[in-house]
Structure formats: C-alpha cells, structure tokens
A and B are shown apart, each in its own frame.
Chain A
Amino acid sequence: MSSVSVARPATSDDRLTLKQRLVNRGLDGVTMLTLPAIVFTLALFVYPFCYGLWLSFRPKDGSLLGNYATFFSDPFLYHTIGTTLALALPVTLINLLAAIPVAFRVRLMLRPRLLTTILVIPITLGTVLVAEGMLTYLGPQGWFNRVIMWLGLTNAPVRLVHNYWGVFLSLIITGFPFTFLLTLSYVTGIDPALEQAGATLGASASQRFRTIFLPLLVPGLAITFCLSFVQAFAVFPSAVLLGAPAGPTRVISIAAYQAAFESYDYSMASAIAMIMAVVQLAVVAAVLVLRNLAYRGPVAGTKG
C-alpha cells in the first residue's frame, strides 16, 4: 500500500509552529507511544549487545583478538559450531517440510481451531517441561521402549535420550508449532482461486503445487526457515537435559554458558556469543540471498 504523503511548500516552514513542523515530519502524539518500546530495545538489546561486543575484545591476556584466537584454535570450542549446525539445520528443514502438508490440509478445514490448539500446546509448555516428559517417555524404562520391546521389534531398549536423537526429537516437538503457524499464515494468504484456475487449465495436483503454490510460497518459507533456524540454533535446555552435553550435543550455547558461569570469563563468553551471532547471520543471509532469486510480490492474485 502506498503511504499518504502531504504536499507542502518548502518555504512556508518558518511560518508554522514547532508542533506543526514536527507533524509534517511524521512526528505527532501517536509517535510518542513508541517511546517505551524504543527505550526497552535500547536498554535491553542494543546496549547489552554493544557492551558484549566491546567486552569480547577485552580478553584476560590483554590482546585484542585473544578470545577469538583461543576459540578457533581449540577443537573442543570450535567443534561446537558444527555440532549446533548438525542439530539446527536438519531440525529446521524437517519441521518446515512437515509443516507444509499439514498447513495445506488445515487450510481446507472449516474449523481448524482444535488442531491448531493441539499443535500450539508444546509452545506454551516450554522446553524444560517437554524435556522432562520425554526423559521418562523415551527413557530405557519408558512407555516407548516397553511398547516396541513388547511388540518384539527390538530386544534391548533403543537409546533415544542423553544423545543426539534426544535433543533432535525435542527440538522437533518444540519447534514444529512455531514453524507450522508461520507456514499456515503464508499458505492461507494465497488466493484459492489461483489453484482452481490451475485445475481448470489442466494442471494436476502436483503440477499445481510446483507451478503455482511453491513459487508463491518460497519467500514466506525462507523467512520461516530463518526464524525457526535461529530458534533451534540457540538450543540450550534440551541439549543439557536430553543430550550428552559433554560430547555429541555440546552445542555452542553450552560453551558460552561454561565460559561465563564455570570459568567466570565473561569476556570469552561474550566472544562465543558474538561467534554464535555471526554463524546465525551467515545462514540467514544465505537463505535470504537465495530467496531473492524467487518471485517476490503480491500472492493474493490480482487487484479486483
């Protein structure tokens, strides 16, 4: 939508009151309502971020890049990047691929409320409660192993907790609702008449998905991927509770936590947090560059 611009003569500014001049520049009473949010953002995001960035260049040994040198020379530290990516990338991709068909089905439902409620519950429960539940359910004596052993599918319990798969499953359960809700909003934004038009022109269901829906969904799916990925990359509680935090699921946030609260090296912890941010930004930037290759524009058909 186009914004309303008020044409005004450039020379008449001095004849207006201060208030009128501010209004002309888009500052009026309503603008003041954004002040609390601006203060909040400055105090709790911008300042801590800048402070952390500054702190990361003030290591204990006094050199400028000491922390970064330490991080990238110690495999125990730099391997955490790979470990975290190995969890976050497949989890995000699986969530996204699973969300698309579910969203397409929910789009056609007359009363999608119950299903949406069920899917959203994991968000409200929080990661710790989900992790505790999974520990008992998927543990060696849990229902899951008892059932598959009773069915004779396996002789010994399958290990699904305190390793990679425990964290993997918990990230899927807690991440899926978020991915799904975002995907649903993009899917329902596409005019159903476009699909009907495709059908009357002879396109089969899979052709309609590939030639009509997918190109229109790509920009939204890219955003969904980025937001879901950032969430999964910052995994901490489930990596500790359901994983093996000393080894296979030693994710980057655990390294930062240990630097800060076990070694009390805030400077090192800040450096790790900065590295974490750079990795996230790199993935997000790559996805957004790829998105630019796709069509970007209105998806609601045409003006009418």
Chain B
Amino acid sequence: MSFSSQSFRELRLEGVAREFGSVSALKDVTLDIKRGEFIALLGPSGCGKSTALNCLAGLLPTTRGAIWLDDKRIDTLRPEERGFGMVFQSYALFPHMNVRKNIGFGLRMKGRPKAEIAAKVDEALGLVRLQNQAEKLPGQLSGGQQQRVAIARAIVIEPPLVLMDEPLSNLDAKLRIEMRGEIRRIHNQLGATTIYVTHDQDEALSLADRIVVLRDGTIRQVGTPEELYARPSHLDVADFMGYRNKISGRVVSTDSRTATIAVGDGEVTGTLRETLSGDMAVIALRPEDLTVSTDGKGIPARVETLEYRGHEFQGLARGPGGIELIFSSHTRLPTGSEVRLKADPAKSLAYAQGTQ
C-alpha cells in the first residue's frame, strides 16, 4: 500500500475553547494524540464533540487555546492549509462530479501530475472496493457507497489526520456495523491517525484505541474502551456506557477504597470512583453483577418479572422506596417472591450523589 499518513509525532490541543456569543460550546479542552491512534470523541448531542472536530479541521475558529502538530501551531491556519482529510456526516460529495473526480479532487487542487492522480485514485477505489462504480455520479450510489467515496476522498490526499463526523449516522443498522468494520480495516491498513466523532457508545467502544468522553464542552474522561466500560470516572460517563442499576443511599461506612450505603435494612458496598461529598452516595452496577443472595444479606426486593435469557434469567425487582433493580439469577423465581440481592463489591462503583 503506497498511501502513507504524513509523519508527525503528536497532535496537542492546549486549552482549546470555542464560544458562540455567550454560549461556551467547548471549554478548555487539553488532549494529546499520538500518531496512528484511533480516537473517538463520544458524548450526547450538544456536548461539543462536533465543535471540537470543526475547530481541528479549521472550519470553526477557536476562541482560546492552541492546537499544535509537533512544533507547528495549526489553529491559525485556514482549513485548506492544514491538509486534514474530513468525512462529513452528510458525506458532502460533489454532486456534479463522478466518483473518480470526487476522489481525485484533493490531488487536483494540489496540482499533482495527471498520471499520479489516476494511479492514486485507482488505488483508493480498490481500498474502498468501488472499482465498478468509478464513473457514476454520487446521486446514483447507495448510502453505503457514498460513504465509501467520502472516505476514499479524505484518505487519498494522505493526510496526517483523518477527521470523521458521525459518518455512520445516516446508514441503517446493518450497514452501520458493516461500515464500522470497513473503517477499522482501512485504519489498520493505512495507520492514519483518526479522530472519530460519535454519540453511539457501541461505535466508540468497537472502533477506538482511546475514547474521549465529552459533556457540556469539557472532557469527562479519557481512556481505552476497556477502562471506560469497566471503570467510568463519573456517574454520567457510567450512564453512557451501557445499562447500570443506580442505587442511592446514606453512607454507613467508608474507607480509602470503598463505601457502603444502607438500602432499606440491607447494605451495598461499592468501589469508590470519586471523592464523596455529603453523606449520600450512588452505587452503579450492571445487571449481571447483581445476583440473588443465599445468606440472607443484601437488598430486600420483590420479583416483578423474570425472563429466560439462555444461560441465565434476568429479572426486574422492586426494592426499598420502589427503586427498580435489574438482576441476574441462575434459578427460576416465582413472580412476587421476596428475595435479597447482593452486589459484587469489585464491580459496583460508588459515586457522590448529585454530581451529574
């Protein structure tokens, strides 16, 4: 493969901020990205992830802070001077150019020789498996094919950085999973540093080397998919990483690593993920880590429904104060039966109450 991403060691964002009038879309974002990394910017809509990407691309000026590519400050450059490849949510293919012309656009703008452009475009067409569609206009292609053209057009210029703005959000579920694999395959083949914006935690977990979780314009947590999934640093990050039961209660005992809260006449212990403030705490844990207790200790609850899930049962129980608890069980339990549910302390995470 003759594509190569132009060499650099690291991309640094230093206190980057962007304001729209009096509204801060991005506050003091500082981040180091190494060459070849696949970074996902993850967060709900309005968290600033697209703003961050547009600031990197140069499509939005930053209000404060600096962006460095090694020793070169790039936040003052116009987008056409940065040379980053960008894949847009709407694909933004040029409707009046065929696939070949679309992919070759960046190389033509750089004034490369015709023979070189033709060879590179052919190679890019092969990479995204569109050799047979080269003469078609974008309007004649399916959504997935348009997406491939957009990716090919962005990587054929051999950019140091590829930026992707929710590239899969316009595709149906099946195609999305297929294209996810394609994007990862292309990244593995080319090794281009990629920054990928998404609101879909599945996409981020399956694609990224590192995930940056954003909320209200600030970075909440940076980590590998495994770290984020298993040990979210804040309750809102935990909320974003798949379903967890959230049990709140008064703290009855705490040490440097764990906290125990009272729930009804029972207790739950969790591993501390942040410093507690006040005497209330929230413990978050996954349904598979909440099981039926055999020693009479744990949270008292009444079973409401129970579903067979193949290897085990998953049930919904109502605990003290009417809280809903989703739990796992190895045996069938009759509806309405009273049980005690115990939590695995290592996998239960304790957070301060009300620090959303």
Q: Which residues of A contact B46 (CB under 8 A)?
A: none
Which B residues, 112 to 157, have Cβ-Cβ distances below 8 Å to chain A? 137-139, 141, 143, 146, 153-154, 157
* Bound-state Cα–Cα, A207 to B154, Å: 18
Query: Cβ of A203 and Cβ of B91 under 8 Å apart?
Result: no
- Asked if B44 CB lies within 8 Å of chain A CBs, one says no
Q: Which residues of B contact A303 (CB under 8 A)?
A: 139, 143, 146
Query: How far does the Cβ of A184 sit from chain B's closest Cβ, in whole Å?
Result: 20
- Asked if A193 CB lies within 8 Å of chain B CBs, one says yes
Query: Cβ of B105 and Cβ of A198 under 8 Å apart?
Result: yes
- Asked if A247 CB lies within 8 Å of chain B CBs, one says no
* Bound-state Cα–Cα, A197 to B154, Å: 9
Q: Could you mark each residue 271-304 of chain A with 1 if its beta carbon is under 8 Å from any beta carbon of chain B, else 0?
A: 0000000000000000000000001011111111
* Bound-state Cα–Cα, A207 to B80, Å: 11
Query: How far does the Cβ of B247 sit from chain A's closest Cβ, in whole Å?
Result: 42
Q: Which residues of A contact B109 (CB under 8 A)?
A: 198, 201-204, 207, 211
* Bound-state Cα–Cα, A297 to B93, Å: 13
Query: Cβ of A201 and Cβ of B157 under 8 Å apart?
Result: yes
Q: Could you mark each residue 193-227 of chain A with 1 if its beta carbon is under 8 Å from any beta carbon of chain B, else 0?
A: 11011111111100100011001100000000000
Most buried by B among A197, A200, A295, A300: A200
- Asked if B170 CB lies within 8 Å of chain A CBs, one says yes
* Bound-state Cα–Cα, A131 to B103, Å: 53
Query: B80 is contacted by which of A200, A211, A301 (Cβ under 8 Å)?
Result: A200
Take A196-B92, A200-B79 as given contacts and tell me if A302 and B146 are in contact as well, using a CB distance cutoff of 8 Å: yes
Query: Cβ of B95 and Cβ of A298 under 8 Å apart?
Result: yes
Query: Cβ of A202 and Cβ of B143 under 8 Å apart?
Result: no
In the complex, the chain B residue whose C-beta lies closest to that of A296 is B96
A-B contacts, CB under 8 A, total? 100
- Asked if B353 CB lies within 8 Å of chain A CBs, one says no
* Bound-state Cα–Cα, A201 to B85, Å: 7
How many interface residues does B have (CB within 8 Å)?
A: 35
Q: Which residues of A contact B78 (CB under 8 A)?
A: 199
- Asked if A191 CB lies within 8 Å of chain B CBs, one says yes
Most buried by B among A194, A201, A304: A201
Which B residues, 77 to 92, have Cβ-Cβ distances below 8 Å to chain A? 78-80, 82-86, 88-92
Q: Could you mark each residue 152-188 of chain B with 1 if its beta carbon is under 8 Å from any beta carbon of chain A, else 0?
A: 0110010000010000001000000000000000000
Query: How far does the Cβ of B158 sit from chain A's closest Cβ, in whole Å?
Result: 12
In the complex, the chain A residue whose C-beta lies closest to that of B138 is A302
In the complex, the chain B residue whose C-beta lies closest to that of A208 is B80
Take A196-B79, A200-B86, A202-B157 as given contacts and tell me if A302 and B110 are in contact as well, using a CB distance cutoff of 8 Å: no
- Asked if B232 CB lies within 8 Å of chain A CBs, one says no
* Bound-state Cα–Cα, A304 to B106, Å: 22
How many interface residues does A have (CB within 8 Å)?
A: 26
- Asked if B211 CB lies within 8 Å of chain A CBs, one says no
- Asked if B31 CB lies within 8 Å of chain A CBs, one says no
Most buried by B among A194, A198, A302: A302
- Asked if B43 CB lies within 8 Å of chain A CBs, one says no
Query: B57 is contacted by which of A200, A298, A299 (Cβ under 8 Å)?
Result: A200
Query: B153 is contacted by which of A201, A203, A207, A301 (Cβ under 8 Å)?
Result: A201
* Bound-state Cα–Cα, A297 to B137, Å: 10
Q: Which residues of A contact B88 (CB under 8 A)?
A: 193, 196-197
* Bound-state Cα–Cα, A298 to B139, Å: 8
* Bound-state Cα–Cα, A197 to B57, Å: 10
- Asked if B3 CB lies within 8 Å of chain A CBs, one says no
Query: Cβ of A199 and Cβ of B137 under 8 Å apart?
Result: no
- Asked if B313 CB lies within 8 Å of chain A CBs, one says no
Query: Cβ of A196 and Cβ of B137 under 8 Å apart?
Result: no
Which A residues, 215 to 245, have Cβ-Cβ distances below 8 Å to chain B? 215-216
Q: Which residues of B contact A193 (CB under 8 A)?
A: 88, 90, 92
Q: Which residues of A contact B240 (CB under 8 A)?
A: none
- Asked if B319 CB lies within 8 Å of chain A CBs, one says no
Query: How far does the Cβ of B27 sit from chain A's closest Cβ, in whole Å?
Result: 23
Query: Cβ of B105 and Cβ of A216 under 8 Å apart?
Result: no
Query: Cβ of A202 and Cβ of B91 under 8 Å apart?
Result: no
* Bound-state Cα–Cα, A90 to B166, Å: 48
What would 5 more interface pairs be, CB under 8 Å, given A191-B92, A201-B106, A202-B157?
A: A202-B106, A203-B80, A295-B95, A301-B90, A302-B139
Q: B residues bordering A, Cβ < 8 Å?
A: 57-59, 78-80, 82-86, 88-96, 105-106, 109-110, 137-139, 141, 143, 146, 153-154, 157, 163, 170
